[in-house]
Amino acid sequence: MVTRGQFLERPTLIPVGTDVLEGLSHRGVRAPALLILPPDPGLGGDMQHVVAAELTWAATQAGHATLRFNHRGVGASQGRRGDSHSRLEDAHAALRLLLDNSAAPAAVLAALPGAGPVAFQLASACPHVVRAIALVSPPSVEAQDVESAAVPVRTILGALDAWHPSGAVLAALTRQGGAVDVVEHADQRFLRNLPQVGRAVAALMADVRA
């Protein structure tokens, strides 16, 4: 039994091809749902990333369904660790399951470090259901990536992060309704002021809902 004020994610199995991915989901009644794309496995990332947990908390407290998962070959997910193509397949399968289980008509993608390319490709492949992208401390973002996105792109980074957007990226974000949120006193690990990351993504979801 879950009592008022408790937070409980449910283990969730995500079929993709002949493999099954591990995930954690939380129910919600408000659209859009939130799909959290884990860091690139090559960067040593998985769904237990501290930012993934914070985003889950912030979105569910606002009433949104969430799903975070591990790519093939990471954690308890089956299969061999793949490439960018297989990671896109994994994300696509996770998105389908999230929408099916939540009955939400649309989703926001939150891309953790290195997952930006997958987010842009998934948004392009599913233009009718992906409504916005939040990039958290991306290793790099090119202006053409932002301009190719048909949805708002919000970038969140620490003030002490090694990467900062160029003038061209800032201009591209402005043109397509995006924004850059800078978390003071934080680097890419967000050991300080982590709740600000969750609030930024929750605000993006509220904008999409409106």
Q: How far apart are CA 22 and CA 13, in angstroms?
A: 5
With respect to residue 119, please indicate whether it lies within any of the assigned structural domains. Answer: yes
With respect to residue 115, please indicate whether it lies within any of the assigned structural domains. Answer: yes
With respect to residue 127, please indicate whether it lies within any of the assigned structural domains. Answer: yes
With respect to residue 136, please indicate whether it lies within any of the assigned structural domains. Answer: yes
With respect to residue 2, please indicate whether it lies within any of the assigned structural domains. Answer: no
pLDDT at position 6 is 54
The pTM for the full model equals 0.93
What is the total count of domains within the chain?
Answer: 1
Distances (CA, A) of 116 to 30, 35, 41, 78, 204: 25, 13, 13, 23, 17
With respect to residue 171, please indicate whether it lies within any of the assigned structural domains. Answer: yes
When comparing pLDDT for 128 and 178, which is higher? Answer: 128
| Residues present in the chain in total | 210
Q: How far apart are CA 164 and CA 140, in angstroms?
A: 8
| Residue 53 domain boundaries | 10-209
Q: Could you give the angle at the alpha carbon of 151 between the alpha carbons of 27 and 39, nearest 5°?
A: 60
> What's the pLDDT band for 180 if we cut at 50, 70, 90?
confident
Q: How far apart are CA 188 and CA 84, in angstroms?
A: 22
pLDDT tens for 92-119 read 999 999 999 998 999 999 999 989 999 9
CATH of the domain at 195: 3.40.50.1820
With respect to residue 91, please indicate whether it lies within any of the assigned structural domains. Answer: yes
With respect to residue 5, please indicate whether it lies within any of the assigned structural domains. Answer: no
